[in-house]
Structure 1
Amino acid sequence: MRDTVTAAFQSVPVIDISGLRSADYGERERVAAELGTAAREVGFFYVAGTAVSDELFERLLAATKDFFALPMEEKMKSYIGLSTCHRGYVPVGEEGLYGEPAADLKEAFDTALDLPADDPDHLAGNPMLGPNIWPDITGFADTVTEYYQAVLGVGQDLLWAFAVALGEDPDMFTRHTTKAPSQLRLIYYPYNPDAKDAQGIGAHTDYECFTLLKPTAPGLEVLNGAGEWIDVPPIPGTFVVNVGDLLELWTNGAFVATSHRVRKVAEERYSFPLFFNVDYHTVVQPLPQFADGPTRAALVAGEHLFAQTAQTFAYLRSRLASGELVLPEGSLEVGTFGQQAAPNVRPIVEISPTTIDNPHARRDSP
């Protein structure tokens, strides 16, 4: 694996991506090249010109505020631990990264591709595909779904552009997005007058291809190549985009899954990341053009997402500890991508030559 090194940047670039919708292919290539440069040098950038309306975002924000204002007993009716495919309410302290002792000071509500209850993958026990859980709030499901679909469209444009920037077939990545477990999180950081040393979310990379983020207040910080944490404040009319683990793997480190965190959230803050993924069973490994040196082993996109999630959420960690749940073979420890990656990346579950038909099947507790 190539060294994952970014520039010693002091700010994050802003890229107008409206040209990706141009009838002029040369204009689309120009924007793709600009995105590729940012992915290589920074791993983080803002995108403007997305055509996602401010009106839709304001409706999403209002619906989110309605949910988090509910009494705790009402929110817990949608508790994520009640879901069979990782959807629903995430209370304070449920989530933790890299074994850090401080709990993340946030609440969240997790959604993804809303599949019917009789979806065959869901019925087969896929841990990340299935129906969403929706609270009993008028219009909540419709608004969240409308926003999800709008931002997912922006993600399709970006994924196309990354393939073009790499000189690959333009459909190299998008052909793998027929039923992807891309997740939308609604996150709430409460007012915190003691936020000087408070942790909103610990330092991490994202598990998917990339993330499209819309926050309402400052707090996001990104690690540059000099080891400095750089503020990434909201800019009106933009989304923040960061490269995730899978694009880093596909490019063997040429695109960097830059480490980031949320800290010092003094004011009330809402944050809406959409984690853009490819289909669950997509095998991700360095492209041939990046295979001229040390390379990392292939991962299955959905299995990587599930394994990282299972090591992060308390309700899943308890099932792992009890033996009720097992990780897919070849699963990696959390924190093996980006600048803070472990120097010797090894699976925590060794890969065997035997193909497992259902690697997520629960084994009976003793």
Structure 2
Amino acid sequence: MASDLGKPNSHTAFKSLPLVDISGLYADDLTVRQHTAEQLGQAARDAGFLYVTGHGVPQALIDGLVTRSRAYFEQPLAAKMADYIGLSSNHSGYVPEGEEQFVEGTVDHKEAYDVGFDLQQPERRRPMLGANKWPAFPGFKEDIKAYYDAALALSNRLFRGFALALGLAEDAFTRYVSTPPSQLRLIHYPYNPDAPVDRPGIGAHTDYECFTILLPTAPGLQVLNGAGEWIEVPLVPGAVVINIGDMMEVLSNGAFVATSHRVRKVAEERYAFPLFCACDYDTLIEPVPSLLEPGAQSRYTPVCCGEHLYAQTLQTFSYLKKRLASGELQLPDGAKGLSSFGYQNTPAEQRP
């Protein structure tokens, strides 16, 4: 999930994303894991965006995800609207074009299907956490959930790597990750040669959560480097893309900074599969105390992970905005508006 928030540019003027082989994070030897984590951390500091190989997600699961998603989105709109996200109890389902607005008046040119952790215990249900709304489409649940579970396991490995990179105990983050509101989005960017050149697939933003694991099928993604330049992100065979989000920026006390990114008008049909990796719902997101200078005050206001995600979602999706306006739903106490999390906004000369 995304915020329209930019960041001060502490990143390097990179011209391409760094690539890190993280297979060492799976090693039994802590020394090997630490060495790999240092490479992961350096890439996060330099760019906030990186390619990752050696991630351990089987290609068969990736192929199943892409094939099943493509077939689902090829259905008529009426069939997909039977799975409309507004019919769900925990924000899961089909998202038609125009449902989301990150900047008032701006419509992203995409459709999506959102699934989450698929928590089956009704008594533990929260606004962004519960049983998924699975369509009746043949094979959808089996293929999508298989990829989700594998990508979630990868996210736990990355949480451990980022902890080591920050000089923390390896489980400093994973102790707060058991049933997280981590959302997988199946996003379809249709190709429309007649669409205006400046009509985005998705506008410039940073992601709310700790980090994102992105699997794209075609180019189109651009990221903002430390010189204020938009850099293309081509596909790298066998790699997924990782980017730092707002919450990891806060947890790391700004050691890792979230990077603004966008999808411009696509030159071909494109699918993208981001898993937005979060901590458990009630986790308080604030800098890890050992990362603060002695006696220093945090520049970040603590937020509850799940409530922050819920508040941002309430202010983004049309069906939830209507329920807010009617009084059926209310923002959590202390909820922040859109584009208000983390550091300050991107300077005007760097905005798209």
Establish whether TM, by shorter chain, passes 0.5: yes
- One-letter identity of the residue aligned with 2:329: L
Q: Render the CA deviation track for 1:266-306: whole Å, top value 9, x for unaligned.
A: 20001000011110000111122225355111111111111
Q: List structure 1 runs of 4+ shifted beyond 4 angstroms.
A: 337-340
* Aligned residues with identical type, % of pairs: 53
**Contact 1:14–1:48 (8 Å) recurs in 2:** yes
Q: How far is the alpha carbon of 1:41 from its aligned partner?
A: 1.8
Aligned to 2:210: 209
Alignment partner, residue 108 of structure 1: 112
Name 1:357's counterpart in structure 2. Answer: none
How far does residue 340 in structure 1 lie from its aligned partner after superposition? Answer: 5.8
Q: Does 1:60 align with 2:65?
A: yes
SS in 1 for 2:207: coil
Aligned pair partner of 1:325 in 313, 329, 333: 329
Q: Distance in 1 between matches of 2:344 and 2:260?
A: 7
Corresponding residue of 1:132: 132
How far does the alpha carbon of each residue in 1:146-175 deviate from its partner, in whole angstroms, 9 at most, with x for none? Answer: 000011111111000111111111111000
Aligned residues of 2:99 and 2:317 also touching (Cα < 8 A): yes
Q: 1:32 aligns with which of 37, 42, 56?
A: 37
Please list every run of 5 or more consecutive structure 1 residues that lacks an aligned counterpart in the other structure: 344-366
Cα separation, 2, equivalents of 1:303 and 1:284 = 11
Answer yes or no: is 1:296 the counterpart of 2:321. Answer: no
Counterpart check, 1:240 vs 2:241: yes
The 3-state SS of whatever aligns with 2:64 is: helix
Query: Which aligned pairs between 1:146-157 and structure 2 lie closer than 5 A?
Result: 146-157=146-157
CA distance in 2, matches of 1:274, 1:284: 19
| Structure 1 residue 335 corresponds to structure 2 residue 336 | no
State the partner residue of 1:347: none
Which residue number in structure 2 is paired with residue 359 of structure 1? none
2:122 corresponds to which of 112, 115, 119: 119
Residue 180 of structure 1 corresponds to 180
> Which amino acid counterpart does residue 164 of structure 2 have in structure 1?
V
Q: Provide the rounded CA distance (Å) in 2 between the counterparts of 1:325 and 1:73.
A: 27
Mapped partners of 1:294, 1:50: distance in 2 = 34
Change in 2 beyond 3 A, CA 1:293/1:19: same
Q: How far 1:111 sits from its partner (Å)? A: 0.2
Contact 1:243 1:255 in 2 (8 A): yes
Deviation (angstroms), 1:339? 6.6
Q: Deviations over 1:187-241 (max 9, x none)?
A: 1011121453220011111111100000000111111122111111221101100
> Structure 2 matches for 1:1-366, cutoff 5 A?
5-99=10-104, 101-116=105-120, 118-122=121-125, 126-194=126-194, 196-288=197-289, 289-291=291-293, 292-337=296-341, 341=345
The TM-score with structure 2 as length reference comes to 0.92
Find the aligned partners of 1:268 and 1:76 in 2 and give their Cα distance.
Answer: 21
8 A Cα contact 1:163 1:173, kept in partner: yes
More displaced stretch, 147-156 vs 194-203? 194-203
| Inter-partner Cα distance in structure 2 for 1:59 and 1:86 | 24
Q: Structure 2: where are the runs of 5+ without partners?
A: 1-6, 348-352
Mean Cα deviation higher: 290-299 or 236-245: 290-299
CA contact (8 A) 1:4 1:339 kept: no
Match of 1:323, as an amino acid?
Answer: G
Q: CA RMSD in A?
A: 1.7
Q: Conserved in 1, the CA contact under 8 Å of 2:9 and 2:226?
A: no
Contact kept? 1:335, 1:342, Cα under 8 Å = no
Q: Normalized against structure 1, the TM-score is what? A: 0.88
- How many residues are aligned here? 337
Counterparts of 1:290 and 1:43 in 2: how far apart (Å)?
A: 20
